[in-house]
Structure 1
Amino acid sequence: MKDSISETVANFLKDFKPFSFLNFEELKVIAKKIRVIHLNKNESLFKINDSLHDYFYVVNSGVVHLTVISDAEETLLNKCYIGDVFGLRPFFAKNNYQMTAKANEESMLYAVPIDVFKPFVSQNSEVLNFLLQSFAQNSTNPTDKINQELISDSVQFIEFQNDLSFFQTLNYNRKPLIVEHNQTIREVAIAMSDNLLDNAFVKETDTVIGIVTDADFRLKVATGKHAIHSHIDKIMTYPVITVTENISLAEAQLVMLSHKVHHLCVTLDGTAHTEIKGVITQNDLVEAQANSPGVLLKEIKRSGTAQQLKSIRYALADIIQQAVTKNIPLQHIFNVSGEITLSIIRRSIEIAILELGSPPVPFAFFSIGSQGRKEQLLLTDYDNFLVYHDVDIQKNRIVKDYFSQLTKRINEILEKIGYKHCEYNHNAHNLQWCKSLSEWIKQYENWINTPGEYTNEHCSIFFDFEFVYGDQNIESEITEAIFSIKNKTLFFDYLGNDALRKPAPLNFFKKFNEEDNGTFNIKAKAIDQLVDIGRLLAFHHGLKGVNNSFYRYKELAIKDADNAEIYLNAADVFLQVSRLRTLEGLKNDNIGIFIDIENLSKSDKEKLKESLHVLKDLEEIVKDTFQLTQFS
């Protein structure tokens, strides 16, 4: 690979983990060995049970779907967008691929030779940790107990269901039994029996020095090796492995595995010299796995009532809260939360169909708005629409009546789960948003050809649609119809002017434009404009299948290199303001729109204020691209 090409590849890689942990010279060494692979739409890179490749892969453009076989059907595990890495199995396992990687649209990939990359992993713990988490995100076998070596002999791991296990917190005994080192074996045995516990920590002064378990009593006392009047420190196991209070499921599994222990001592700061706060056992890990995202997906499939789905939605909310408070990258939370949310909606549709009987014609159900963009972390409203195959006029009434009943029942189920009814009535039970494929294609043509005439100011969210259930070919037909319309000038002007009219986040004096009550509307004055401009520019550049605002800006950085820095900044700012909104919503049990600026630290306040300047940069791009002014 010529140096100019390798520098281009290195420049691309440096913005994405794990490559961002390496210096540019290291990236150039790797880039020289990289292969470029082009995949056509629906072309597979590898399939389940294929032999492992000598490469792992990075998405340069397009979208790659990772699928597995679950309950005898193909199930989407993950979607890989620009900068995402996948195909890491050859790093960690010797058996064949456990999933299929297929391009959802025309895509370009970088194939990174594993032998070339391995030395950089062994020298950089951040790269190692990222690869572990990325592999965990796409793993399909959480019960695989075969330990694998990763680069260094000292690093071992288990395949976890997905990356959420790396921030799923644990419930454990927060009132452990603590005994003194000079107490007798008999005294400790009685205390353990009285407290119905199978373990106790041994302490000397203010330091935990060991642990005793039922196994110690069986092997060291019952066999006669030690008398019951001996001190307990004679039979304890030491040293004790200590961890911090906020340890995750996956972290606890890794620690237990690497140290070959079955108990962890939770202390105030994770060392043996501070207050003991609890004990984590292997049983705690087993119970935690029962609430993992992978298990939630299986529970969704088994659910038969809205109440059961509601309990799963509560479990998802707990996972989201744990993830956000542990500062896990928000794009990961979007991905996994989005898939679980779509699964809940999909099961709601199935329950409704079971009640009403099979549909008279094939149809497709779509989520739109924040659900369609997979940006809904808080329990906000639901927006959706339904498309059914065209029928003869004689059957039209029967078909409409069926889907009217179906969508009504779906909405009832969603509201019982906890999702709120959209105030603008953007849901499939509204006859305006439940119609035939030809009618929908005409609807989109009207929106694009005569914007503002046949619509209202909220039509744009219908361009953020995500297929949920039914005939997926309908999605392809709608997408092709939208992108085949040649002249979109009026439509882009309409969307551009709408984006420019959004209220400014900062006033003339560079202070926050606060509400009368002193709060800052982070949705109306930050998030909405980021979403709107991201959608507009993505549509303008022909980006198909990329709905999430973060990934839209990442793709735009590739499509429009002249403004790449602004787009990458916008992607980061979108995550920043989304995190603030989510934290506010979780704290106050609401949808997190209004932020109390005074509760932010001075540093966070200045950081937010500075980051919002990117909106001005984006407005200038919109004005230049579509020749608009703020008064047009």
Structure 2
Amino acid sequence: MNDFPLPGIVDFLKKVVPFNTLPPAALHEAITATRIAFYPVGERMIRMGEPTGDFLHVVQTGCARVSITDESGEELPVDFRGEGDSFGAVSLLKGGNALFNVTAEEDLIVFLIPKAAVDRLLEAHPPFRRHFGFSLARNFKAVRKSADDQLNLLTRDSQVHVDTFMTGKRVRDLMSTEPLSCRRQTPVREAADMMKQRGVGSIVVLNPEGRPEGILTDADLRNKIIAEGRDLDTPVGQVMSAPIRTVSPRAFSFDALLDMSHFGVSHLIVTDGKQTVGIISEHDFQLASGSSPIGMIGDITRATTVPELVDKRIHIDRVLEMAMQRSGSIKPMVALIAELNDRVTRQFIRVIEREMAAQGYGPPPVPYCWLAMGSEGRQEQTLCTDQDNALVYADDSGADDGSVQRWFLELSKRVVDALERFGIPKCRGGIMASNPQWCMDLSHWQKMFAGWIDDPTPESLRMASIFFDFRAITSEFNGARKLKDALTRMAAGKKHFARVLAKNALNNRPPLGFLRQFVVEKSGEHNNGLNLKLRGLTPVVDAARVLALELGVTSTNTLKRLKAATKKKVLRPDFLAAIDDAYDYINFIRIDHHLKAREAGTQMNNFVDPALLNPMERKVLKESFTVISQLQELMAGRYQSWRVQDR
């Protein structure tokens, strides 16, 4: 099958990572030798242990199943590849026979790019080379781990089921097709009867143009009809849940699950362009995996005492560890950790507020907001993290007798202690809301921030690196937004502060020496180790913070800050992609190191001995550190041109 038009291949590949980084001439040269192949459903394209052929396979349409064959000959699926995904790269780049089977899960059209063409692209185009280096090192480890876990689960009794959403499945693999639908004027009685007849828990509500505008679920029937005593002839449009949340059928199922968790919904409408093609629910995930982060969130919000909430930690840890072990990218895992930690913190606050009221402390004296700082504020915390939090409350117009702060310090002490019992250690530096220094009214916070900016000292710069990444955990008081707006105004035009902050950010250099050799610790507890956090991740976090303050960006997340800097033409899009890959990969190695330590029962830390990494991992780690060095060079050039006396 070689009659696919050349312009069609070009149009497709220039939208696919990493081919979208190639100049037009290089892309055209590569595809002149490209072949097109069709594989019907069930056909085996690559067989484990056999030669793969000298081609990189890029999926144009359809879906491929990646699997391993165990000693008994049973095939165990470990990944799925869809439109724009590739396979065969590991064997193509490393040599040797295939590590996995690849079979057409659906009818499949694949572009076959010859090894010689791929080699030329790898040699001449660094972004292309970086992508495959990062992706291979991550995915090789993740897929092999997934396969190992599948084998282990066959031989031991486990109460924790394999989470299907972690094995690369797409929404289309789990969704229900032909969703039940009705119009907004349909009586609830009729809609409920339709749901009963079909045996489903939801019905999609369509607008006059036939597009989804809402959804009626079992929960809506219970909470809005039965509980409120409404007439069953009430039009569906008056009680439906709206607006709806949608997802693409090609999205990874884990991303859909994360959306459900974030928005607090149990159903997503699956749309392809303007067409509704299905619906996916929490129940679909439970059927597929036996466990669900949404189920965990329900457990968290139902807890009514501190001990009950503390008991949820074991189950959360199990699912988080399984999630991390199965993903080729750390971003979804870190997002899930942030979501769960936020929910846990908010529930502790609710429970402890009720306890204090019952004990005679009364309700909060003024509105307040619990703040997350540091990695938690950036939504980038991992398994190896401690508490960084604070509290801001509304300015009290009454007599300043200290009673307001005393109430909030009592709340904060209890919440901090509860979080420690839950397994999140206290900050050794005392950066916690239980410290009177970090539990203040809005005016005092604003004065403190202004002092740090107007007179930057080594200590204030250290504090800024923690506190300027703050984020609201509770939303009853908009103190975080007011404080963020004030910080943005204070930092605007303060070139001296930006320059000093940038200079401070350049103190932690990536651990690469002459001829790009690793520079490891030479003595002490972590001899021969690389500090991945301090020397790899922190330089990126610090650079993003400086750029955000200079450019007036209010987001605290590192990648979002860098994306904003790219939109403002400070960073090139291709360089942003390289930084993103490097940051993600270093974090991936770090999390893998944490998991190994936890499994071995040893203390988790951020030091990795490069001698324990395989050659590919070491090579990609060097590439990652090189990219971060380039970011620091950009920062040095940008801010060292600003004279110290510019204020």
Is the TM-score greater than 0.5? yes
Q: Is the 8 A contact 2:537 2:587 kept in 1?
A: yes
| 2:519 maps to 1:513 | yes
Query: Is the Cα–Cα contact under 8 Å of residues 369 and 475 in structure 2 kept in the other structure?
Result: yes
Instruction: Give the partner amino acid of 2:541.
Output: V
Superposition deviation, residue 331 in structure 1: 1.8
Query: Structure 1 residues 72 and 417, CA, compared in 2 at 3 Å: closer, same or farther?
Result: farther
Q: What does 1:102-121 align with in structure 2 at a 5 Å threshold? A: none
Tell me if the contact between 2:334 and 2:382 (Cα under 8 Å) persists in the aligned partners: yes
CA deviation string 1:497-519 (max 9, x = no partner): 11111143112342212122211
| Correspondence 1:286-325 to 2 at 5 A | 288-289=290-291, 292-325=292-325
Distance 1:71 1:396, change over 3 A: farther
Distance of 1:70 and 1:384 partners within structure 2: 40
Q: Does 1:557 align with 2:566?
A: yes
Equivalent in the alignment of 1:481: 486
2:15 and 2:488 map into 1 onto residues whose CA distance is 30
Give 3-state SS (helix, strand or coil) of 1:424's partner: coil
Aligned to 1:618: 631
Tell me if the contact between 2:512 and 2:518 (Cα under 8 Å) persists in the aligned partners.
Answer: yes
Q: 2:583 aligns with which of 562, 574, 594?
A: 574
Once the two structures are overlaid, the 10-residue window that deviates more, 606-615 or 483-492, is: 483-492
CA distance in 2, matches of 1:156, 1:592: 46
Equivalent residue for 1:607, pick from 612, 620, 628 = 620
Question: Helix, strand or coil: the match of 1:612?
Answer: helix
Q: Secondary structure at the match of 1:420?
A: coil
Paired residues of 1:136 and 1:159 also in contact (CA < 8 A): no
SS in structure 2 of the partner of residue 130 of structure 1: coil
Structure 1 unmatched ranges of 5 or more: 1-6, 23-47, 57-67, 74-93, 103-111, 115-126, 166-248, 254-284
Higher relative contact order (CA 8 A, sep 6+): 2
Mapped partners of 1:599, 1:299: distance in 2: 39
Partner letter of residue 487 of structure 1?
Answer: G
Given that 2:495 and 2:642 are in contact with CA atoms closer than 8 Å, whether structure 1 keeps it comes out as no
* 1:401-412 matched pairs, under 5 angstroms: 401-412=406-417
Contact 1:527 1:577 in 2 (8 A): yes
Give secondary structure in 2 for the equivalent of 1:423: coil
- Find the counterpart in structure 2 of residue 259 from structure 1: none
Which residue does 1:597 correspond to in 2? 610
SS of equivalent residue, structure 1 residue 623: helix
Where do residues 493-532 of structure 1 align in structure 2 (5 Å cutoff)? 493-515=499-521, 516=523, 517-532=527-542
Aligned to 1:441: 446
Q: Residues 615, 143 of structure 1: CA spacing in aligned structure 2 closer, same or farther, 3 A cutoff?
A: closer
Residues 1:622 and 1:129: Cα distance change in structure 2 (over 3 Å): same
Task: Give the aligned partner of residue 152 of structure 2.
Answer: none
1:375 is matched with which residue?
380
Q: 2:464 aligns with which of 448, 459, 466?
A: 459
Does the C-alpha gap of structure 1 residues 492 and 391 become closer, same or farther in structure 2, counting only changes over 3 Å?
Answer: same
Question: Which residue number corresponds to residue 536 of structure 1?
Answer: 546
The residue identity in structure 2 corresponding to 1:364 is C
Contact kept in structure 2, 1:533 and 1:622, CA below 8 Å: yes
Q: 1:182 maps to which residue? A: none
The answer as to whether partners of 2:586 and 2:624 remain within 8 angstroms in 1 is no
Contact 2:330/2:584, CA 8 A, preserved across alignment: yes
Map residues 328-477 of structure 1 onto 2, 5 A cutoff.
328-357=328-357, 358-392=363-397, 394-452=399-457, 455=460, 457-477=462-482
For residues 397 and 454 of structure 1, what CA distance do their matches in structure 2 show? 27
Between 341-350 and 312-321, the greater mean CA deviation after superposition: 312-321
What is the CA–CA distance in structure 1 between the aligned matches of 2:445 and 2:251, rounded to whole Å?
43
Contact conserved, 1:50 with 1:96, CA < 8 A, in 2?
A: no
Distance 1:412 1:372 in 2: 19
Deviation (angstroms), 1:576: 0.7
- Residues 317 and 54 of structure 1, relative CA distance in 2, 3 Å threshold: farther
Partner Cα distance (2:211, 2:470) in 1: 34
Once the two structures are TM-superposed, the CA of residue 95 in structure 1 deviates from its matched residue by 14
Task: Give the residue type in structure 2 aligned to 1:321.
Answer: E
Is residue 545–residue 558 contact of structure 2 (8 Å, CA) maintained in 1? yes
Cα offset for 1:312?
2.4
Report deviation, 1:101: 8.2
Shift of 1:150: 7.3
Q: Is the 8 A contact 2:249 2:270 kept in 1?
A: no
- The SS at the match of 1:575 is helix
Counterparts of 1:630 and 1:596, CA distance in 2: 40
| CA deviations over 1:75-104 (Å, ceiling 9, x no partner) | xxxxxxxxxxxxxxxxxxx999955489xx
Corresponding residue number in structure 1 for 2:280 = 159
**Contact 1:330-1:575 at 8 Å conserved across structures:** yes
- Aligned with 1:617: secondary structure? helix
**Counterpart code for 2:282:** Q
**Given the two structures, how large is their TM-score scaled by the length of structure 2?**
0.57
Structure 1 residue 369: deviation in Å?
0.8
Q: Distance in 1 between matches of 2:316 and 2:299?
A: 12
Contact persistence 2:249–2:271 (CA under 8 A): no
Q: How many Å separate the matches in 2 of 1:147 and 1:627?
A: 51
Instruction: Return the offset for 1:349.
Output: 1.3
CA contact (8 A) 2:496 2:644 kept: no
2-structure distance, mates of 1:381, 1:450: 29
Cα distance in 1 for residues equivalent to 2:82 and 2:532: 31
Distance in structure 2 (CA, Å) of the matches to 1:413 and 1:534: 32
Kept after mapping to 2: 8 A contact 1:557/1:568: no
List gaps (5 residues or longer) in structure 2. Answer: 1-10, 22-80, 87-203, 213-218, 225-236, 358-362
Distance in 1 of aligned mates of 2:512 and 2:558: 22
Residue type of the alignment partner of 2:548: A
**TM-score, structure 1 normalization:** 0.59
Q: 5 Å matches for 1:10-409?
A: 51=207, 98=241, 100=243, 128-130=249-251, 134-139=255-260, 159-161=280-282, 253=288, 288-289=290-291, 292-357=292-357, 358-392=363-397, 394-409=399-414
Task: After superposing the two structures, state which structure 1 stretch, 586-595 or 571-580, moved more.
Answer: 586-595
- More divergent stretch after superposition (559-568 vs 403-412): 559-568
Q: Is the 8 A contact 1:387 1:440 kept in 2?
A: yes
Aligned counterparts of 1:52 and 1:585: Cα–Cα separation in 2? 53
Q: Is the 8 A contact 1:362 1:389 kept in 2?
A: yes
8 Å CA contact 1:365, 1:468 repeated in 2: yes
**Alignment partners' CA distance in 1, 2:623 and 2:454:** 38
By how many angstroms is 1:147 displaced?
11
* 1:119-162 deviation line (CA, Å, top 9, x unaligned): xxxxxxxx853265544543479877x998979x9x99761339
Listed one character per residue, the Cα deviations across residues 415-465 of structure 1 (whole Å, up to 9, x for unaligned) are: 111111111111111111111101111111112222117725243111111
Distance 1:50 1:157 in 2: 14
Cα offsets for 1:323-344 (capped at 9, x unmatched): 2211253222222221111111
Query: What code does the residue aligned with 2:540 have?
Result: L
Matches of 2:211 and 2:550, distance apart in 1: 34
Select 2:640's aligned residue among 622, 627, 631: 627
Q: What residue identity is the alignment partner of 1:302?
A: R
Structure 2 counterpart of 1:510, which letter?
R
Residues 470 and 556 of structure 2 are in contact (CA less than 8 Å); yes or no, is this contact kept in structure 1? yes
CA offset digits 1:223-268 (Å, max 9, x no partner) = xxxxxxxxxxxxxxxxxxxxxxxxxx67x73xxxxxxxxxxxxxxx
User: Following TM superposition, by how much is the alpha carbon of 1:627 offset from its aligned partner in structure 2, in angstroms?
Assistant: 2.3
